[in-house]
Every structure is written in C-alpha cells, then in structure tokens.
C-alpha cells in the first residue's frame, strides 16, 4: 500500500515536472515530437531507477556511517554522471537499436535536475531501499507522462494560428500551465 | 607523465581539495545550523505551552533512564532518545511539557510539536514544525480548525483518524500523518517523561 | 576594457539565460513565488557562477581535456555546497524556502554551460565578468517573475503590501500553473521587444 502511494504520488499528484518543477529543460527541449519525447522519457526513467538505487547505497553505506553528509552533492552528481556513462556503454554493447533511439538523449540526462532532485528527496524523505527505487520509477514515469502529453499537444499546435511572439516557448509554457492546472485535480487522490 | 596518469592525478587532487574545503566549511557551519534549529524549536515550545517563561530540555531514553551523563551509553542510545521540552513558569514550577512527533505524509515527513499540560496530562497546543504536503490541500493541516481537534486529548484517547479526529477532505494521507505523529510521540514522551521524573 | 563590458552585457540581455537561451528553468519556475525568493536564488546562482568560472578559467591548462567535465562538476558542486551550508547557517528561513533548489544549482545548465563554453577557453577576468553578467541576467529575470507572481498572487512586493487590503488576489499565481503561464507570457513579451529592437537596428 505504502509503495503504491509513493508510486502514484510521484507520477500524478506530485508530478516531477508539472508540480515539483524538476526537469523543465528537457521538458521544453525535447517535447516537439511524441516519439522523441517517449524515447527521452524512458531513457530518463531507466537512469532514475538505477540512480536512485545507487545514491541510496552511497548515502546509507558511505556518507552516513563516515559522517560525510556535506559531500552529498559532490558524490551524488558524480555517481549520476558515471551511471549515465555506464548505461550508455551498456546499451551501446548490448542493444544497438535501443542505443540508436535513446543514445542521443543520454548525455543530456546528467544535467536533468529531476535525477539529482530525486536522489536528494529520497534521502530527505527517509525512504528505504525499495521505496527509493519505487520513487525513482514513479518519478521517471511521471516525467515521461508529462513529456509525452506536452509533445502530443505541441504536435497539434503546429496546425494552429498562434500569435507570432507566443510561438515556440511561449505557447509551450502556457500549455504546460494548463496541464499543471489539470494535474492539480489529482491532489487528494490517495 | 603519461596522459592517463595525469588524468587520474588531476581528478584525485581536485576531489581531495574539494573534500578538504567542504569539511572545513562544514565544521564551521554545522554548529551554527544545529544551534539555529535548537533555538527555533525552543521558541516553538512557547507557542504550544501558553503561559511559560522558560524551557528546559530533558533527554530521556524510553527505558526510564536519563543517559546524558554517560557519553558512551549516550552514543549507543542516541537513536532511541526522546527529547522532551519542559515548560516552566516564572516561579520555576513545571507548567507542562512538549515533544516532537514525526510520521510520513504525502510528500515526506510531517513533524509536529505538541504541548501537554503538567497536571491535566491533556494536549494544550499543537504546531506543525515542517511538512512537504501539497500546497492548498495537504498544507491545510496547518489550519486552526484541523489542529484544534487535538486539543484536550489525553494519552488514553485513541487519537486516530476516523475515531476522534476528522480528516481534511481530500487530504487523508496528510491528516493521518499528523494524527500518527501525535499518537507515536505522545506514547513515547509520556513513558519517558513520567518515568524520567 | 570594452571586451569586459561586452562580457558583462551579454548575459543581461542579448544572451539572457532565461528569456533568450532558456536554460536554468527549473529554479526559475519553482522558487519565484515571491520577489525576494527569486532574487535570493538568482544571487546564490551568481555567486556559484562567478566563483566556478574564475577557478575553471585559472585551471584550464592544468585539467586534461578528457576529464574536463567531471572536474568542472566537482568544482561547481563544491561551491554549491559552500553556499548551501552558509545559507543554512546564516539565513535559515530563506534556506527552507529555497530548499531542494539550492543543491540543484549543481545541475543548473547555466553554470556548467558557461564553464564549458566560455570559462574553459577565456582569460580569468573575462570569465569572471561573463559569469557575473549571466548571473545578474538570471537574477533580474527571476526577480521580475517573482515580483509579478507576488503582486498578483498576494498583493505585495518584497513582502510589502502594495494593493489595498482586501483586494481580491489570484491564489493560483503562487501555485505551479501560475508559474508556467506567467513565464510563457513574459517570454512572448521579450520576443516582442527583441523583434522591435531588430526592426529598429
């Protein structure tokens, strides 16, 4: 039950992008087409799950026992950067087709603040290992959902007559605002 | 020096310098940070225990023992220590005590501070210290109408959602977190306070 | 001298990180619930940006190209942690409001972006002014967004009551949808201003 609450909360109620404002850069940057949005979303979800497991281990088996909480930022971001690198190398070797579709997004994921944010929030929330991983999964799926929804709307927007200054980022932000408004309807779901 | 050796050396040096600087900054700031938190908590005690003029901190373990004099034992017991804030009036008489309770809500931990009357053993004040609940919904646990439900409850009361505490509509998880935090903290604190005295 | 002024000016308008390049958007949206929060976040980022640009520019010839990015990340994360700890010690209330977004300065694309694109190639003085310009450009954007949201959402600015007591306010401006919509409209305004400038020149 608790795991389900964490999962649903991360996907819908406290959606990483639309409610917590994490990962806005890729949200705006790669949401022009549904297909690329989905690829980016899934690649990010994958990294999030791996990173939430890795940072949990670092926090509770290295930083806490040795009294080094002040190294959290440095350690986490390095772990995330190396995780992204490992995932990239792994995909390159094992699944060239998946690598071709996800590969271009991977370097961008390191600086996606949703991943570092997720790791820090999981520590602050005092989550167990399993809870952290579920939180990572939920965060990633929520990110994917928001990204694909925005991309779907932006694909349609190409055929509509948007005032010139609003074209591009302007209208995308307003659409995101409306999505965020819709997502606030999920508040109190659980 | 070959290229790869140079890479390793440079990265190691940067990482070591960084760790060194940060440990210095941390040792300077951590004391101030803890002091701030303690001072803030103490001033909150005045809010939940009306009519007091002084706060005293009692460290008590749930095993009815005061352990603050024995550093080694204190380290072992650190995880299980309950901090109790005793409120005294002008004449130095105990008016009541306050404790911190914690439970997981929607967006993370919800921490509450609860004041209990010395004689009546009933809750006289409740403050939400910190939470990360949804603004406008879960955050309504801070509102007076919700918090006032806890006033007058004693440790024998159920203090449970659906029994004697009404949930805020649409914020069940947040409401439950508060009542759980109060419940849990109340049990621990009563045991420690009454036993410790 | 002229070069330095150009370095400073670039971030303020023509390459403004928020409105023109559109990076560092997470804190832009998340902490701008009030003018003071936006400004504080901007200044914290400026500090990190100036310090890390200066140091990276100093060390640029010592750091081998292949470990460039990890080295930059460690340097940036170190300065961010310093800001995080000092802010927690000296300004605890502000630290609580900005919360998660202080450590997240590490992954603010502005900082790493300037390190990679500018500081790792240019002399120290230029890098410092470039960092300062970008930081202040980010700061004014956040302060503007924060002010608009605070006026419409709470009727005050920098905590001072602006609209008469009892004026109805838009609570939604303080919530996430208000952040997105305000930024969208501001972007459109900046586009209009830029288009007019281009026409004149």
Q: Whole domain around residue C162: which residue ranges?
A: 2-200
> Span C185-198, mean pLDDT?
90
Tokens of C199: 């026409």
pLDDT over 90 at C76, yes or no: yes
C94 or C143, higher pLDDT: C143
Buried-state track B181-191, b at ≥16 Cβ within 10 A, e below 16: bbbebbebbbb
H-only helix segments in A10-124? 24-29, 34-58, 72-94, 96-102, 106-109, 113-124
Q: Does B5 contact chain C (CB < 8 Å)?
A: no
CA distance A78 to A110: 9
**B48 phi and psi, to 5 degrees?**
-90, -10
pLDDT over 80 at C151, yes or no: yes
The alpha-carbon gap from A57 to the nearest alpha carbon of chain B, in Å, equals 20
CA distance C68 to C122: 15
Q: Does B33 contact chain C (CB < 8 Å)?
A: yes
Contact A187 B108 (CB under 8 A): no
Q: Give, to the nearest 10 degrees, the angle between helix C124-154 and helix C35-59.
A: 170
Q: Chain A residues with CB-CB distance to C under 8 A?
A: 18-25, 28, 70-74, 77-78, 81, 110-113, 115-117, 120-121, 124, 163-166, 169-174, 176-178, 180-181, 184
**pLDDT tens, A113-172?**
899 999 998 888 778 899 999 999 999 999 999 999 999 999 999 888 888 888 888 999
CB contact at 8 A, C121 and C104: no
The alpha-carbon gap from B191 to the nearest alpha carbon of chain A, in Å, equals 25
Residue B124 is predicted with a pLDDT of: 92
Residue B107 is predicted with a pLDDT of: 67
The residue of chain A nearest to residue B29, with distances taken between CA atoms, is A70
Q: Does B57 contact chain C (CB < 8 Å)?
A: no
Nearest CB neighbour to B170, from listed A14, A125, A188: A188
**pLDDT tens, A12-48?**
888 999 988 899 888 888 888 898 888 889 889 999 9
pTM above 0.80, yes or no: yes
Query: What are the Cα distances from residue B65, in Å, to B43, B96, B116, B191, C174?
Result: 26, 20, 21, 11, 48
Residue C125 is predicted with a pLDDT of: 93
**Chain C residues in contact with B13 (beta carbon < 8 A):** none
Low-confidence winner among A75-84, A85-94, C182-191 (lowest mean pLDDT): A85-94
pLDDT over 80 at C56, yes or no: yes
CB pairs under 8 A between A and C: 121
Report the residue of B2, B11, B14 to disrupt the C interface, i.e. the one with the largest count of C CBs within 10 Å: B14
> Span C163-171, mean pLDDT?
79
CA distance C10 to C36: 24
**pLDDT tens, C12-43?**
988 899 888 888 888 899 889 889 989 999 99
Residue B74 is predicted with a pLDDT of: 44
pLDDT over 60 at A179, yes or no: yes
**pLDDT tens, B43-77?**
888 888 888 888 888 766 554 444 444 444 444 44
Contact C100 A117 (CB under 8 A): yes
* Torsion sign over Cα A34, A37, A43, A49: negative
Report the residue of C19, C32, C188 to disrupt the A interface, i.e. the one with the largest count of A CBs within 10 Å: C188
Tokens of A187: 């508040």
**Chain A residues in contact with C192 (beta carbon < 8 A):** 165
Nearest CB neighbour to C86, from listed B10, B15, B29: B29
**Residue ranges of chain B whose pLDDT lies below 70:** 1, 59-82, 107, 134-137, 194-197
Surface-to-core class of residue C185, CB atoms within 10 Å of its CB (0-12 exposed, 13-18 middle, 19+ buried): middle
Look up tokens 């921490």; give the residue.
B111
**Chain C residues in contact with B11 (beta carbon < 8 A):** 67, 70-71, 74
Q: Does B66 contact chain A (CB < 8 Å)?
A: no
- Provide the terminal-to-terminal Cα distance of chain C, rounded to the nearest Å: 24
Residue B58 is predicted with a pLDDT of: 78
* Number of separate domains in chain C: 1
CB contact at 8 A, A60 and A128: no
Contact A18 C176 (CB under 8 A): yes
Residue B133 is predicted with a pLDDT of: 73
Query: pLDDT tier at A188 (50, 70, 90 boundaries)?
Result: low
CA distance B141 to B148: 10
């Amino acid at each position: 039950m608790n795991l389900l609450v964490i999962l649903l909360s991360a996907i819908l109620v406290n959606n990483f992008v639309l409610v917590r404002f994490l990962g806005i850069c890729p949200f705006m940057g790669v949401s022009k087409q549904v297909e690329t949005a989905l690829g980016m979303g899934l690649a990010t979800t994958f990294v999030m799950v791996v990173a939430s497991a890795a940072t949990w281990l670092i926090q509770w088996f290295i930083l806490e026992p040795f009294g080094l909480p002040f190294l959290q930022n440095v350690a986490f971001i390095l772990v995330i950067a190396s995780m992204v690198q490992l995932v990239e190398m792994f995909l390159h070797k094992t699944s060239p087709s998946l690598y071709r579709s996800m590969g271009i997004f991977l370097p961008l994921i390191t600086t996606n603040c949703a991943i570092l944010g997720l790791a820090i929030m999981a520590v602050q929330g005092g989550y167990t290992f399993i809870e952290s991983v579920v939180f990572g999964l939920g965060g990633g799926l929520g990110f994917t959902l928001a990204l694909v929804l925005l991309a779907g709307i932006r694909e349609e927007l190409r055929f509509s007559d948007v005032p010139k200054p609003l074209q591009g980022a302007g209208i995308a932000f307003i659409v995101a605002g409306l999505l965020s408004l819709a997502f606030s309807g999920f508040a109190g779901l659980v | 020096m070959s290229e790869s050796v140079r890479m390793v050396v440079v990265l190691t040096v940067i990482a070591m310098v960084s760790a060194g600087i940060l440990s210095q900054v941390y040792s300077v700031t951590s004391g101030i940070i803890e002091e701030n938190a303690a001072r803030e908590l103490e001033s909150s005690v005045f809010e939940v225990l009306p009519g007091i003029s002084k706060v005293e901190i009692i460290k008590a373990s749930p095993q009815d023992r005061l352990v603050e004099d024995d550093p080694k034992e204190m380290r072992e017991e650190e995880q299980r220590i309950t901090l109790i804030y005793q409120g005294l009036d002008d004449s130095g008489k105990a008016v009541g005590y306050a404790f911190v309770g914690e439970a997981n809500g929607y967006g993370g931990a919800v921490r509450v501070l609860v004041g209990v009357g010395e004689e009546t053993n009933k809750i006289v004040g409740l403050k939400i210290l910190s939470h990360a609940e949804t603004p406008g919904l879960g955050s309504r646990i801070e509102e007076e109408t919700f918090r006032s439900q806890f006033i007058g409850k004693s440790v024998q009361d159920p203090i449970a959602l659906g029994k004697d505490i009404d949930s805020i509509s649409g914020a069940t998880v947040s409401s439950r977190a508060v009542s759980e935090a109060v419940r849990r903290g109340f049990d621990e604190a009563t045991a420690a306070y009454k036993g410790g005295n | 001298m002229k070069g330095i002024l150009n370095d400073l000016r670039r971030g303020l308008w023509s390459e403004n990180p928020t409105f023109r390049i559109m990076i560092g958007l997470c804190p832009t949206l998340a902490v701008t619930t009030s003018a003071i929060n936006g400004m504080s976040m901007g200044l914290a980022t400026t500090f990190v940006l100036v310090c890390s640009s200066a140091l990276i520019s100093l060390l640029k010839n010592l750091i081998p190209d292949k470990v460039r990015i990890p080295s930059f990340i460690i340097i940036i994360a170190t300065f961010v942690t310093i800001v995080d700890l000092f802010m927690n010690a000296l300004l605890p209330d502000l630290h609580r409001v900005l919360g998660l977004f202080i450590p997240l300065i590490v992954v603010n694309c502005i900082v790493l972006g300037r390190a990679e694109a500018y500081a790792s190639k240019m002399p120290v003085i230029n890098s410092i002014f470039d960092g300062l310009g970008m930081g202040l450009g980010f700061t004014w954007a956040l302060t503007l967004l924060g002010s608009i949201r605070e006026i419409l959402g709470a009727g005050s600015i920098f905590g001072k009551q602006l609209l008469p007591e009892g004026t109805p306010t838009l609570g939604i401006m303080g919530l996430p949808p208000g952040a997105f919509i305000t930024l969208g409209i501001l972007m459109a305004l900046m586009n209009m201003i830029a288009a007019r400038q281009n026409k004149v020149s």
